[in-house]
Amino acid sequence: MVSVATGDGAHSLFIAGHGISVQSTFELASGIFVEPTVEMHDAADGSAHFSDYSAVITGHKLADFSLRIESEQSGKALAVKGRNALWNFHLLSLAAQSPICSIFSMTPGTRPIFAAANRNILVRRLAAVKLIGAERLAWARDNKEAFDTLIKVPAFSRAMRCFGNSHYLFDTDMRIMLLWSGIEGLLSVDSELVRRIALYAALMIEGNHEEKANWFAEVKKAYGVRSKTVHGGSVNEQMLQNGYQQASHILLRLLARCVEIGRVPTPAELDALALSSTLS
């Protein structure tokens, strides 16, 4: 169970994360800061459940950064703000264009309080930790309002959770299927129509004609791995790893584009855009 525990009188808490590193403190929003360090204390006495203790013991060596949450109000108000702040790990993954996960929360004090901040108590190390600079952190800050609105839109929220959850799966083929489920849901494609998926994806991104054509071809090629995976085609481990990376990249780019334009485009909107030019 995901939780953010606080104590009476506390006005700040930290949520440890894995997947990115930052060089200095950055204010993401009012009372929410991305920190390059992770506060650590003895977790044994401050964990209410064994699952909380396990999350700290197994996760503290993975922690690359933390979110510091501050609130003028203590107790429940701080806990609610901290729990809502967990969505910011998804926002930061869009900014970094790389997977990021929360691990555990810690409320400092005479007796620090710890809680598991991830439904997966045992978090495995990600393939890479990405250094994220001020420019991309500023992108997250500038687009946070749009992200907070979109995360309440079912199509966007489901696609975002498909991306976030895919990296916890042990089997690469299962990761690919979940990522493509997110892509298909975001683009409102309810059957395996590779051309429509590739076309919609190309229409959504920014770029000139050549860049869009290349993106169209890239999405079609990546979807081929998805089809082989779902239908039992012949794929080796390298193909699966490449397919996983490609699907992850495609979904991240599409989600980030939705945040930039502030909405999830409808199929009708994308169809109209596809018909806006005439051959000459």
Cα dihedral: 173, 179, 184, 187 (round 10): -160
Mean pLDDT value of segment 209-234: 83
DSSP for 126-137, written as a single string: PS--EE--HHHH
Q: DSSP 3-state assignment of 112?
A: coil
pLDDT over threshold 80, residue 54: no
Q: Does the pLDDT of residue 264 top 80, yes or no?
A: yes
Which tokens in the block code for residue 154?
């079912």
The mean per-residue pLDDT over the stretch 168-181 comes to: 92
pLDDT tens figures, 33-42: 999 987 766 6
Give the lowest-confidence range in 62-76, 188-202, 225-239: 225-239
How does pLDDT run across 55-70, given as a tens digit for each residue?
777 778 899 999 999 9
**Per-domain boundaries in the chain:** 12-134, 143-274
**What is the percentage of the chain residues whose pLDDT exceeds 70?**
90
Q: Which residue in the block uniquely carries the two structure tokens 């169970």? A: 1
pLDDT at 253: 95
Question: What is the mean predicted confidence (pLDDT) over 152-170?
Answer: 93
